Amino acid sequence: MAYCKYIPMPVFTPEGRDRFWRRVEKRGNDECWPWLGHRTGGYGTVDFFIEGKSRSMKAHRVAYFLHTEEDPREMGVCHRCDNPSCCNPSHFFLGTHDDNMADKARKGRVARASSKFTFEEVMQIRERAAAGGRVSFLAKELGVASESIRNIVNGTSYRNLPVLPRKPTPLGRIPKSQKPDHPATSTSN
Ligand SMILES: [Zn+2]
C-alpha cells in the first residue's frame, strides 16, 4: 500500500527543462548541487499543473527524471550525499523506501528525537507497522526508543498525518455488526 498516490512525471518542453535547471546551482561534478527554489522538510519542491491540479513534486526526483529520462515511479530517489536539497544526478541512487530507511539508519542520521521525523519517515513507519512490522524492530532499526515508534504508529504524535489501520489478522476481532450486543432476550411486551 502506497501512502502517497503515484503521480507520473509531467511532459517537459525544452524551455521547461531549462527553467528547472536554472533553479539548480550546478557546481563541480562531485559536489552537491543545491536547489535554489522552495524547500519543504529540506527537500526542494517544484509545483506543476497536472490535469488541472497543482501538484508539488520533489525537485531531486524531477532532476533524476530529466537526467535519466526514466520516471522513478514508486521507487525512492535516494541521496548518497545525505543532502535532501541536492539535485546532482550523480549523487542519486534508486531504492525502495525500506532501502532508504536502512541507509539512513546505517549512517546514523535517524538516531534522534521523535520530533525530528519527516513526513515521509512517519508515513513509512506507519506503513510498515500497518503491514505487520514490529514496533521494537522498527525502533531498533531507526535507533530510537520503542515509545517514539509506538506514539507514531498509534497517532499520539504527528496527529496531522493519517494513521494507517493495521491489516486484520485471520483471527482478528469479530466485526461489530456480528457481535451480539445483548443476550438474545425478547424485548416485546
Ligand atoms: Zn549531493
For each of the domains in the chain, give its residue range(s) and CATH number, in order of start.
1-95 (3.90.75), 110-167 (no CATH)
* pLDDT, mean of residues 48-77: 91
Distance 144 CA to ligand 1 centre (A): 26
The pLDDT assigned to 114 comes to: 44
Cell of residue 1, nine digits: 500500500
The alpha carbons of the chain give a radius of gyration, in whole angstroms, of 22
End-to-end CA distance of the chain: 52
Distance 59 CA to ligand 1 centre (A): 13
Calculate the alpha carbon distances from 180 to 89, 128, 173, 183 in Å.
60, 33, 13, 7
In 1-130, at which residue ranges do the beta strands (DSSP E only) sit? 39-40, 43-50, 53-58, 76-79, 92-95
pLDDT tens-place string over residues 162-181: 888 876 645 545 445 544 55
Distance 97 CA to ligand 1 centre (A): 19
CA dist., res. 91 & res. 85, Å (int): 11
CA dist., res. 144 & res. 160, Å (int): 21
| 134 neighbors 125 (Cβ within 8 angstroms) | no
Residues in the 5 Å CB sphere of ion ligand 1: 32, 81, 83, 86, 88, 91
Cell of residue 95, nine digits: 531504492
Which residue, 78, 79, 69, 64, is CA-closest to 24?
Answer: 64
pLDDT tens-place string over residues 83-136: 999 999 999 998 876 777 777 666 665 544 445 777 788 888 888 888 888 888
The residue ranking higher by pLDDT, 82 or 111, is 82
Cell of residue 133, nine digits: 512490522
> What sign results for the dihedral spanned by CA atoms 153, 158, 164, 165?
positive
Distance 84 CA to ligand 1 centre (A): 8
Distance 26 CA to ligand 1 centre (A): 11
Q: How many helices (H) and strands (E) does the chain have?
A: 6, 5
